[in-house]
Amino acid sequence: MRQGKLILIPNLIGENNIENGITKKIIDTIIETDFFIVENIKSARRFIKKVVPNKIIDNITFFAYGKHDNLDLQEDFLKNILLGNDIGLISEAGVPAVADPGAKIVEYAHQYKIRVVPLVGPSSILLALMSSGMNGQNFAFNGYLPIDEKEKIRKIKLLEKISNNSGQTQIFMETPYRNNKLLDTIIKVCNSKTMLCIASNITQNNESIVSKSIEEWKFSNFRPNKNPSIFLIS
């Protein structure tokens, strides 16, 4: 009997047009798939309806893996895979399993030798790196920095030191409402020659990607404000 596979289906980054990263392969896969593991069922239904307007949403089976959900990997995932059903994994934004809790589901699939099929789609992390002008051969994504200000400063200094010693681009992010405060902290603690890139609203109509030295940032009027942003230092 044919065994199903786990398909990693990228989502849009923000409320933009499907042309910005949603390929024909993604659309065809959604058309052909009736089982989905998603972080939030409501937003996943909205995404599928936007990408494939003619698909009957009520015929889809959704399994939620958000932090307040209790996804039964044995019953909900493995059982359907063994019955021959392909299951699509959709993140809230961008590619699944990268800076995303869906990585645990992919790990589980490999444990049971289930085929994992990644589809090409938008990644704010890689798009920010591509457009930063920084080292794209040696880089590290650090997720969110510590909330505590002292810990955050220590972390920024450590990342700057690693970058200086190895040439490794350091990538991180912040909760949008703290973006401006993070920018102020980076300007205050980093060396004037350190490069900082801020990529905001990637793939959106109001996309902004600014890369300059800390010395130049001191005299810049640009503020990321509450826009979803990726920070890179080198």
pLDDT of amino acid 73: 81
What is the C-alpha to C-alpha distance for residues 209 and 179, in angstroms, rounded to an integer?
A: 14
pLDDT at 227: 95
- Residue 96 falls inside a structural domain: yes
What's residue 32's pLDDT?
Answer: 95
176 and 155 in a single domain? The answer is yes
First CA to last CA distance, the chain: 52
Note whether residue 186 is domain-resident: yes
Same domain, 225 and 157: yes
Co-location of 163 and 87 in the same domain? no
CATH number at residue 96: 3.40.1010.10
Q: Is residue 162 domain-shared with residue 67, that is, in the same domain?
A: no
Q: Which of 83, 118, 153 finishes a domain?
A: 118
**What is the structure's pLDDT at 1?**
65
Does any domain span residue 71?
yes
Q: Please state the domain count of the chain.
A: 2
Same domain assignment for residues 176 and 85: no
94 and 76 co-located in one domain: yes
Q: Which of 74, 102, 118 is the last residue of a domain?
A: 118
Angle at 93 between CA 137 and CA 86, to 5 degrees: 95
Say whether pTM exceeds 0.85: yes
Domain around 39: 6-118
Instruction: Tell whether 107 and 33 lie within a shared domain.
Output: yes
- pLDDT score of 68: 58
pLDDT tens over the chain, length 234 residues: 689 999 999 999 877 667 778 899 999 999 999 999 999 999 999 999 999 999 999 999 999 887 655 778 877 888 889 899 999 999 998 999 998 888 999 999 999 999 999 999 989 999 999 999 999 999 999 999 999 999 999 999 999 999 999 999 999 999 999 999 999 999 999 999 999 999 999 998 899 999 999 999 999 999 999 999 999 999
Does residue 1 lie within any of the structural domains? no
